[in-house]
Amino acid sequence: MTGYDAIVLGAGAAGMMCAASAGQRGRRVLLLDHAEEPGKKILISGGGRCNFTNRDTAPDRFLSANPHFARSALSRYTAQDFIALVDRHRIAHHEKTLGQLFCDGSSRQIVALLRAECDAGGVDLRAGHRITNVSRADAFTVQTDHGAFTAPALVLATGGLSIPKMGATGLSLDLARRFGLAVVEPRPALVPLTFGEDWLALMRPLAGVSLPVEARTGRAAFREAMLFTHRGLSGPAILQVSSYLATGAPITLDLLPGTDAASWLLSRKRDRPRAEARTVLAEHLPARLANGLAETRLAHLARPVGELPDRALRDVAAFLNALTLKPAGTEGYAKAEVMAGGVDTRALDPRTLAARDVPGLHVIGEAVDVTGWLGGYNFQWAWSSGWCAAQSV
Ligand code: FDA
């Protein structure tokens, strides 16, 4: 079958945005997905409420081998543009924290918005199509288990490798390589960290406990909540630093951000000398954590704070304000919110996401080596890159 101007592979966030926008520019667009319904990751996103963008979107909140690459697309189609679209569809939303915008109702509303926009653009959306081969002669030909389709433009929008049980595949990366585009080694990002038995003795019994921390690695620092898990650490602060964490590198945690633990503990030694040190700690830390520390790492916390030498209190304070830990690894793509790495931006035009050396080919969304922070940034990249590619196909 012929007659399309563009074929978009992947009816996720970026693919639907691209297909709808290109369709509304008068392009005849075929949108193919192997899943039975489009936008499955959108449905589960943001705990079912889809954190669809971030008011504070700025290029420095995205990781890439080329940190300037995302700037152009993010400024051509902005967070405000997407918010205006959400408002046009009368989808009520609210800011939860740190500029993060969520639907008041359900993620389904965002998928419905994208489907309505695709309909308005006359997009031929075909779910449940397994892609068996893609080739390029004068035009691109996509073979599927439901027949072959041809178009002069092809958009790779099948996303990243995270959550394979939801149907994530490396198709866009494989095809990009086949067409000669370099790929920056992909890795799980926004992912919980795992620890060895030495730390798990503390962490495992605390699974479910959360507290505000500042987590850092290298020059990246995030002051948000941290959550203990059965395998180690998660929560926004940990997910954020995980994206920046080099293999084998440590993270540093401030368990009392904004509090000088040494002066606080020394003042408690004067005010409450008979209180157990762990009881004092529980003034600022979850009691279960204070007890866990006394049981597994700092036995002297079970003694009255007045009996501890200043030196010991300073050691406790250093532990609390600058705990350096080496993760054993991550929970991998099964738990990662996104994939970092992807199609090398040097192969792409930042304005149009078009491959420089393969006429008609575009790569958008998570498949590109652009990874946002936690908090709506990854969807904004999907909308921005999808819209920009649509202006050029
Ligand atoms: P996306 O994954 O959306 O779409 C890819 C599409 O391609 C899918 O429909 C898939 O079925 C299809 N596909 C894959 N392989 C194929 C193949 N071989 N053949 C045919 N089709 C194929 N981000 C954010 O900003 N705010 C949030 O609240 C969240 N929440 C969130 C929660 C969870 C649990 C996860 C896993 C991720 C998030 N994210 C997020 C990240 C966000 O979901 C992600 O960055 C975007 O969906 C990426 O958009 P893409 O369109 O690139 O891929």
CATH of the domain at 113: 3.50.50.60
State the DSSP H helix or E strand holding residue 102, giving kind and residue range, or none if neither.
Answer: strand 100-103
State the DSSP H helix or E strand holding residue 361, giving kind and residue range, or none if neither.
Answer: strand 361-363
Answer yes or no: do 152 and 200 share one domain: no
Answer yes or no: do 31 and 172 share one domain: yes
Alpha carbon of 41 to ligand 1 centroid (Å)? 5
- The predicted pLDDT at position 32 comes to 98
Answer yes or no: do 119 and 51 share one domain: yes
Amino acid letter at 55?
R
| Residues 165-213: tens digit of each pLDDT | 999 999 999 999 999 999 999 999 999 999 999 999 999 999 999 999 9
Strands 232-234 and 251-254: unpaired
CB 138 within 8 A of CB 129: no
Answer yes or no: do 162 and 204 share one domain: no
Burial per residue of 262-297, b for 16 or more beta-carbon CB atoms within 10 angstroms, e otherwise: bebbeebbeebeebbbbbbbbeebeeebbbbbbebe
Question: pLDDT below 70 — which residues of the chain?
Answer: 1-2
Answer yes or no: do 152 and 32 share one domain: yes
- The predicted pLDDT at position 2 comes to 52
Q: Is the beta carbon of 51 within 6 A of some atom in ligand 1? A: yes
Answer yes or no: do 323 and 373 share one domain: no
Answer yes or no: do 18 and 87 share one domain: yes
Give CA–CA dist 358/249, Å, rounded. Answer: 38
CB 155 within 8 A of CB 391: no
Answer yes or no: do 253 and 326 share one domain: yes
Answer yes or no: do 316 and 375 share one domain: no
Alpha carbon of 246 to ligand 1 centroid (Å)? 24
CATH number, residue 204: 2.40.30.10
Domain boundary residue, one of 331, 356, 376 = 331
Answer yes or no: do 291 and 357 share one domain: no
Nearest residue (CA) to ligand 1, atom 30 = 45
Residues 6+ apart with CB under 8 A from 119: none
Give CA–CA dist 236/46, Å, rounded. Answer: 12
Instruction: Report which of 51, 57, 56, 61 is spatially closest to residue 101, judged by C-alpha positions.
Output: 51
Answer yes or no: do 32 and 92 share one domain: yes
- Classify residue 158 as left (phi > 0), alpha (psi -120 to 50) or beta: alpha
Host domain of residue 59: 2-188+339-390
- The predicted pLDDT at position 266 comes to 98
Give CA–CA dist 299/86, Å, rounded. Answer: 54
Give CA–CA dist 259/261, Å, rounded. Answer: 6
**pTM here?**
0.97
Domain boundary residue, one of 331, 349, 373 = 331
Nearest residue (CA) to ligand 1, atom 25 = 376
Alpha carbon of 337 to ligand 1 centroid (Å)? 9
**DSSP for 136-204, written as a single string:** ESSSEEEEETTEEEEESEEEE----SS-GGGT---HHHHHHHHTT--EEEEEEES--EE--HHHHHHHG
Answer yes or no: do 175 and 76 share one domain: yes
Domain boundary residue, one of 308, 331, 354 = 331
Ligand 1: which of 41, 126, 171 to mutate, most ligand atoms within 8 Å of CB?
41
Amino acid letter at 223?
R
Give CA–CA dist 345/335, Å, rounded. Answer: 26
Residues 6+ apart with CB under 8 A from 108: 43
3-state helix, strand, coil in the chain (%, to 5): 40, 25, 35
**How many domains does the chain contain in total?**
2
Name the β-bridge partners of 135: 141
